[in-house]
Every structure is written in structure tokens, then in C-alpha cells.
Structure 1
């Protein structure tokens, strides 16, 4: 599987990548965001959902406690899952996972999907650039490294001006 690694210097770069992914999203797509706490999953998710829903002021609360938030987007219904607190992949049925897969799913902490991980997903692994992050006081605006894999027919077209490969 081909992977692309990007250096995201600012929060705006992360948001630009999210908007680019949103423009390429189709019904049935799964976007999986992995990375440690503070890696930028929520920054990416908010920008992605705002672009996909065509509403730059959209309120995007973290689904950490509800586990899933749903949105009506022009392309398809969107389910934003945060699986940090999931009891196991079996609990996904109760959250409406199968129905949500007919639209678009955005998943934070996808490692909790285990064998239910969609094989056709776009996987985005985020990490802070540790060498540079120490100098930043705003945790949301630290440089990040994003590694994208999946979507073999679309991955190459996701790169935009202002987001550079490493």
C-alpha cells in the first residue's frame, strides 16, 4: 500500500489537508484518524466536517462521551466516531456502525475497530513533530507529521499547495 508523508507546519496546514480530503470524499468512505493525544485528530476532524458540510461555522463537539455525532452533508450523512471509550468492536453495532457505513464515517482511535476496520479506508496517522513542538505554547498549532495511506485511486491527487511532502 502506497503512503504519503506530509509535514504540516501549522494548524492551518492541518485544516487545509482536512478540507482537501473532504473534497475527495464519497458516500461509503471511511476516514480513520490515528495518533496520540494532542496529535491533531480533533483539529483535522473539525475542519473536515466543516468543509464536508459546507458550513465554516459548524459546531463540531468532540464525540468522546457520546461516541458518535452525526451530520447532514450534501455528499452523504456523516458519522463522526470517537472510539477512545469503546468497550470493544461489538459495541459498534449499538452505535449504528453498519448503517453509518452507507454514508461517510470519520473515526478517531480506529485501532479499537480491530477486525471491523474497513479495508478501503483512508488512514491518516498524525503525530506532532517532537523536535519543533517543544518551542510551541499553543498545543493546537504545533507542527505535525501526517502519513496517509489507502485510497489508491485518489491518494496522489490529495496534495495541495502549502502542504509539502517530507
Structure 2
């Protein structure tokens, strides 16, 4: 079951990212989808800073390196940007299996193909004709209802 959240401002996107960061656990994979300009980088930076408990953390885009790894208080945190990935077979040399031992945030998860974990949290950002962004959330049913996220019918 999915829930959808309207994000009228960049601050709203960051607030929601910080909310999900509080729920993240070692072993989680968060898949962040959406078109260019939808707010994936804004969400990712806020999420990474919150998990690392460092609001001033420098968070460069991993578009060219494909992966950036951070040490958070709860363990390793890997941020993958798969926009330039040639295919899922290239993930092994990026350390995908090792990264899965920590928390993994993936932008452009469509490039994972069959390697996308079934139990991943799927977040999809979209931009409406009016310019308002929305975030659709699927997964983590065991955590989200208890945390107060209202599920859409």
C-alpha cells in the first residue's frame, strides 16, 4: 500500500527525508526514483546528513563516482547514483554486496533491474503541472504505520 505526501517547499522535502532517516536501520535499501529536477538530490542530502547526525556534512553528488560512502553512528551508509551505470553487472565492482551490510540509498534505482531488493523502501518523487512535488512511499509497512504515516486507500 502506498502513501503520497505533497511537498510544497524544499524544506518539506528535507523534513520528510529526516523523518525517514530516523526510521532507517542497518541492512535497509532505499530506492529514490523520479525525473531530473524532482528533488532527489535535495532528499538524499537531507537523509544522509540526518543519518550521519551532521547537518553540515559535505554531500557531493555521486553522479560521476557512482557511489559515495559515509560512516554514520549506526554503521556504513552508501549513496549510489546509477544514472551513468551501464548495467547491473557493474554493481559488483562498485561494492554493492559490501554496501548492503550497511544502509544503502540509491538514486536512479531503475538501473538495478532484478537486483533491486524486494523489501526496499521505494520513494518516488514527481512534479505536478503546478510545480508542486509529491513523494509516493511504498514499503516498510512494519515501520511506517507505527511511526504515524497514514497509508492512502
2:109 aligned with 1:110, yes or no? yes
| Partner SS state of residue 22, structure 1 | helix
2:137 aligned with 1:148, yes or no? yes
2:9 aligned with 1:19, yes or no? no
C-alpha distance in structure 1 between counterparts of 2:62 and 2:23, whole Å: 23
2:43 aligned with 1:44, yes or no? yes
Match for residue 129 of structure 1? Answer: 128
Q: CA RMSD in A?
A: 1.5
2:149 aligned with 1:159, yes or no? yes
TM-score by length of 2: 0.95
Q: Which runs of 5+ in 1 are unaligned?
A: 134-142
Match for residue 80 of structure 1? Answer: 79
C-alpha distance in structure 1 between counterparts of 2:6 and 2:45, whole Å: 19
| Partner SS state of residue 94, structure 2 | coil
Q: Which runs of 4+ in 1 moved over 3 A?
A: none
| Partner SS state of residue 4, structure 2 | strand
Q: Which runs of 5+ in 2 are unaligned?
A: none
Report the CA distance between 1:128 and its aligned residue: 1.4
Listed as ranges, the matches of 1:53-72 within 5 Å are 53-72=52-71
**1:33-77 residue CA offsets vs partner (Å, 9 max, x unmatched):** 000000000000000000000000000000000000000001110
